[in-house]
Copies of this chain bind each other. A is one copy, B any other.
Amino acid sequence: MSEIKNLIEKLSKLDHKNMYKNDFFWTWDKTDEELKSVFAVADILRKMREENISTRIFDSGLGISLFRDNSTRTRFSFASACNLLGLEVQDLDEGKSQVAHGETVRETANMISFMADVIGIRDDMFIGKGHAYMKEVSEAVQTGHEDGVLEQRPTLVNLQCDVDHPTQSMADMAHIINHFGGIENLKGKKIAMTWAYSPSYGKPLSVPQGIIGLMTRYGMEVSLAHPEGYDLMPEVEEVARKNAEASGGKFTKSNSMAEAFKDADIVYPKSWASFAAMEKRTNLYGEGKFDEIKVLEKELLAENAKHKDWECTEEMMKLTKEGKALYMHCLPADITGVSCEAGEVAASVFDRYRDPLYKEAGYKPYVIAAMIYLSKVKNPAKTFEALLQAHSERFLGK
């Protein structure tokens, strides 16, 4: 209990006032203190739940989810986060169509929001589309609120767009902070964010982009490596470069997995599609050239297959700091010999890190809940104190 009080005390000293009534799109939109606030609130929520103290700040209200790509873990994370705070999830199932734009987006956004406190969106499939769509929704509900259509303005949480995947990277970061015993211990640590081979194609770029855009803020050396042609969006690399400079860290690039793994404290090997290919695919999609998309996909898979050596094997792991780097992944991973013939990671490596990987994922519901909390609650510390005071039990049967 005193631990919770300390965390609340810490939270009360951080400046997060601009998060109030605001959306969460990209981590690099947010100040360091704002991100620290997210970690603090996530911690408080977790500890309160562990101590069986209710964190329901909503007696009623909806959390809208809109998934334009399949999702199990993010879906459940969002549902868990909403439920923890007292919101009921209502899923907007609009199919995976990309056609909903303009009038339709504006209208739908308002129609679903009369009693919505938060909207979580995943739209990561098409370069140049996902974030744009979220902005459109955000502006629609903002206008709706200003014009008196919506009593309250639902805030948005980006559950993965084409640019960033902040609930993932923030959960990953919480995991790293916990692993190394505090944010203050990260300075000088090396993290290898590398491409890895996968037999499936077209995985979003937002995970690696989210990682280099966030991890460069903590004085770490972020080493990005991928085969030629698998570049990330240049503007995000620019963010990473500036972050590294400001935080006294480093952002390096190479085309060698081994180089990135060398002496790394953390490795994050993961497949993604190349930016150029994704852009081409988006254009073909927009032009309705589905046959050409199929041809492109085949080409891309063939290209992928040239890089099967980009696998996180035991040999690769030996290159890392004392051979014991923390292996990370957003899951599900393509595990060689388990979920596919040849994949991102060797079975024995994955196996050794299963618990840490599951724990890594376990931060996500709390990170999402924290983002919602900070966007909705006017005085975060004071409301936590009120919850502690009330000391209502989450579960009566303990």
Contact of A295 with B by CB under 8 A: no
Mark contacts of A333-374 with chain B using CB atoms, 8 A cut-off: 1 yes-contact digit, 0 otherwise.
001001100000000000000010011011011000000010
A181 within 8 A of B: no
Q: Is the CB of B83 within 8 A of A395?
A: no
Q: Which of B49, B338, B383 contacts A396 (CB 8 A)?
A: B383
Taking a contact as CB atoms under 8 Å apart, the answer to whether B114 and A394 are in contact is: no
B377 touches A386 (CB 8 A): no
A365 lies within 8 A of B114 (CB): yes
Interface string of A238-263 (1 = CB under 8 A from B): 00000000000000000000000000
Question: Does the CB pair A111–B73 fall under 8 Å?
Answer: yes
A222 to chain B, nearest CB (A): 27
If A102-B338, A108-B72 touch, does A393 touch B59 (CB 8 Å cutoff)?
yes
User: Which residues does chain B contribute within 8 Å of A180, judged by CB atoms?
Assistant: none
B397-A377 in contact (CB<8A) = yes
Enumerate chain B residues within 8 angstroms of A79, measured Cβ to Cβ.
62, 88, 90
Q: Which residue of B lies closest to A90 (CB)?
A: B79
**A302 at interface by CB-CB < 8 Å:** no
The contact string, 1 if C-beta is below 8 Å from chain B, for chain A 89-103, is 110101000000011
User: A151-B49, A331-B111, A339-B103 given as contacts; is B56 within 8 A of A59 (CB)?
Assistant: yes
Verify if A194 is at the interface (C-beta below 8 Å from B): no
Binds B, one of A9-17, A24-32, A141-149: A141-149
A358 touches B397 (CB 8 A): no
Q: Is the CB of A358 within 8 A of B110?
A: yes
**Chain A 34-65 against B: per-residue CB contact (8 Å), 1 yes, 0 no?**
00000000000010011000111111111000
Which partner residue on chain B sits nearest A146 by CB separation?
A: B355
Contact of A378 with B by CB under 8 A: yes
**Of the candidates B54, B60, B83, B107, which one forms a contact with A62 in the assembled complex, judged by CB atoms under 8 Å apart?**
B83
CB A89 to nearest CB in B, in angstroms, measures: 8
Q: Would you call A325 an interface residue if the criterion is a C-beta within 8 Å of the partner chain's C-beta atoms? A: no
Please give, as numbers and ranges, the residues of chain B lying within 8 Å of A362 by CB-CB distance: 114, 149-150
Say yes or no: A61 contacts B395, CB within 8 Å: yes
Known: A102-B338, A151-B49, A355-B148. A61 touches B111 (CB 8 A): no
Residues B394 and A76 in contact, CB atoms below 8 Å apart? no
Contact A398 B378 (CB under 8 A): yes
Complex partner residue of A397 from B46, B73, B92, B383, CB under 8 angstroms: B383
Interface residues of A (CB under 8 A from B): 46, 49-50, 54-62, 72-73, 76-77, 79-80, 83-86, 88-90, 92, 94, 102-104, 107-108, 110-112, 114-115, 117, 144, 147-151, 331-332, 335, 338-339, 355, 358-359, 361-362, 364-365, 373, 376-380, 383, 386-387, 392-398
A-B contact pairs, 18 of them (CB 8 A): A46-B151, A50-B151, A54-B59, A55-B60, A59-B392, A61-B83, A62-B80, A72-B94, A80-B115, A83-B90, A84-B115, A104-B332, A111-B358, A114-B365, A148-B355, A148-B359, A378-B398, A386-B396
